[in-house]
Chain A
Amino acid sequence: MSELTKLDRRDFMRGAAAVTFAGAAYAAVGDKTEGTVWQLDPNKCTQCGRCSTHCVLNPSAVKCMNQFNICGYCDLCFGYLQPGSRGRDTGAENQLCPTAAIKRTYIEDPYYEYVIDEERCIGCAKCVKACLVFGNASFYLQIRQDICINCNECSIAKACPSDSFSRVPASTPYIYLTGGVETTIPVRKGEEPQEKTVQHPA
């Protein structure tokens, strides 16, 4: 196909037109070069549970994470235990997580570490809600970027009732809670917290 290689003036014009077209398109859309990924803002999240049901992936790419430096390492962890539970063990009657994805490990008296098994976590936000209402809000939902396939239009974003999802720069793909670590320590007068917390409504 020798014609293919031949260039005449009209071809040159066409090429120039193409370049102009591409340039115009580029100018129209700006010059942001960095890629973006989806992420949810835990400050806006209302723990409605749609993250676990509306992701195109099954199980969802949204997982709960425990930000350890905010976590109170409580013995009576409301994110881990059913309200009004008698025991502090993994028995289904005591455990809040529907998929048993939270692992509780004894650290030292009276502290326990809570680690989330992401294989099991389905992003239902039950523990997030409990920790937000009764605890330090160290549990919160985030999109796991290694699992997320970064759809052009995120299905959960579309379904999110509190508009928590947005695109963030791929270089800073997580939104952390600051937890006000330095700012607020509650007023307390030398009592051991556990003595008080055991008195729980049945």
Chain B
Amino acid sequence: MLEKREFEQSDFLYRLSLAVTVVSGFFSLIVFLLLVVNYMQIRAADPVNNEMITKMRQEYAALPEEDPALAQRIRDLDLLTRKAFFTTQTHLRVGAVMLLVGVSLFLIAFKYMMRWKRDLPKLAETPTAEKEFLAFAQSRQLIAWGGVGLLGVGMMTALLTEGAIYSTVDARILEAPPAATSAQNAATEAQAAASPEGIAKAIETPAWEAMELNWPTFRGPGSTGVAHFTSAPTQWDLAAGTGVKWKTETQLPGHNSPVVWENRLYFSGANETTREVYCYDTESGELVWKKTLDRFQGTPAEPPKVNEEAGFAAPSMAVHGKQVFAIFANGDLASYTAEGEFVWGLNIGLPDNHYGHASSLLAYGNLLYVQRDDNSKARLLAFDLATGKEAWEAERKTISWASPILARTSFGPQLILNSEATVDGYAPDTGKLLWSQECLGGEVAPSPAYGNGVVFAANEYATASLIKLNGTAEAIQPEIAWQYDSFLPEVSSPVLDGERVYFATSAGQLVALDTKAGTELWVEELAESFYSSPVLVGDKVFILGTEGKMYIVQAGSDFALLATLNVGEGTFATPAYLDGKIYLRSTGHLYCIESSHG
């Protein structure tokens, strides 16, 4: 019975369904347009990345005190965004259902419209069957052309594809040795080859004696905090301008400390986009040259996320005779000659630890040492000075933000590094682990100290340990002589004078301990806070407080404050102490301080 009615017609029902079709069609169209608008709104009202709120929150956090009005505005905007987000989502769901209903109604009405005015089956003039059979030849042709078309499209795509990108990569992979850093090596090789031949020849490897006479690294020769010259000026006042030989403004910011070799002083500065290395004349204070780093292979396009207070140029440079080295927060490592000629440069990768790359550089012999600590992989890298090729890589157990020091022990020179759990000694030429002593904990920032056959390592929340190195050169046996934990340094590194160890805490105390007995000799409250490291200059300990004061203390078993000097400006870097001069980098200036009677 059903099928009999199939071909009935009814004008009224046709008109009725036509009306429903038109109405529901319009309805669906409007709902559809609203949905599109709604969708756009949802994209705009993204509560996760609302720039306005983020900006206001940052503003609020930077204010010196609470601002209820701004807080209220943040709350209002946040509420608005969230409301918008959730209501538009509800709208979207309701809208989708409405559209579904509308379209269904439209389809049903449309179907009935067709059904009540259906064309009766008619027989065509030319039977469809005939056309059908004539279509056989047509089908064969069209299918054949379809195949040709497919082939053509395929060929066109293949031709238009840029295969060249890959051939470069192909070649590199196929030719390069399987070493992990082969890509970097290839790059540095190319760069080394491109640089003038003269440079490589000009590079020399200065002996320790030459290093001692200079200030080649952070915390002086070997990075141990002991100055070779004992004639650093003790009476001056930077705020008042007394004792200042010269003063110059620095350019890009950077917390790294100045390094000095003969009559040249170097430090680096960087912001998000630019990384620069500066060379100054130590006599005149004039800028001799300034180099802006190029992008190296692997240099990330985006600036790395750094903590505001760390900046983009935290690690200090190293100078090694006629060659200088600088490393930046984005992993760029570059070398220049003393004349400012580019020697090599590469990117060692963005370090994966939550404060970023912090350890300063150290050069010794013909190698440059980079402590490269990733959470997943802590290691010590050594690069060939002349080529920038990786000479060796030593695995470390855990990371730290301390810097390597070079200790000249009776067993020969050693690199001593603090990690979050251990103090380790490495052979400078091979990277072989010579000894390892567990004694640290927490997030380690202070570097170790070395003097007179003992190593001192300490960190807040852990303990301070004096480590004696026993045994033979082949098998060094570390031994903890004593431990101490009443006061501990958090940032500042300790220094040894042979009989005593001095260190400064973040709470502002300067502490002296007896290295033999491990007893507390004296503890003095000096500053608000110490983050800078003490440096031993002859029989005096020089240390900078965070508030712009320099304290000079007699090195000895009894406390004697020799001078409190005024810097007058916030200082982050540890100064360089040379013959009769101190080179001090403050946040905005570089000073050369000269002894008034020297």
Contact = CB atoms under 8 A, between A and B. Distances in A.
Contact of B61 (A82, A91, A126, A133): A82
Interface string B77-98: 1110110011001001000000
Contacts of A100: 82
Interface stretch (A13-21, A149-157, A181-189): A181-189
A82 B57 CA distance: 8
Given A92-B74, A201-B309, A58 B92 contact: yes
B485 A86 contact: no
10 contacts: A49-B48, A58-B92, A85-B61, A86-B66, A91-B74, A100-B82, A122-B47, A124-B48, A186-B441, A189-B485
A99 interface: yes
A96 to B, nearest CB: 10
Given A91-B75, A98-B82, A100-B82, A187 B57 contact: no
Contacts of A49: 48
B430 interface: no
B82 A187 contact: no
A163 interface: no
B61 A98 contact: no
Interface string A133-146: 10000000000000
Nearest to B79: A92
A27 interface: no
Contacts of A59: 89
B461 interface: yes
Contacts of B48: 49, 52, 98, 122, 124, 126
A173 interface: no
Contacts of B62: 202
B521 interface: no
B435 interface: no
Nearest to A124: B48
Interface range for B: 20 to 34
Given A86-B66, A98-B50, A188-B461, A91 B71 contact: yes
B70 interface: yes
A91 B50 CA distance: 16
A23 interface: no
A122 B45 CA distance: 14
Interface residues of A, number: 25
A201 B307 CA distance: 10
A72 interface: no
A91 B70 CA distance: 11
A86 B74 CA distance: 14
Contacts of A124: 48
B177 interface: no
A93 to B, nearest CB: 4
A92 B92 CA distance: 26
Interface in A108-126: 122, 124, 126
Interface string A29-45: 00000000000000000
B559 interface: no
Given A93-B57, A93-B60, A98 B47 contact: yes
A122 B89 CA distance: 12
B354 interface: yes
B462 interface: yes
A93 B74 contact: yes
Given A91-B75, A100-B82, A189 B66 contact: no
A58 B82 CA distance: 15
A83 B461 CA distance: 24
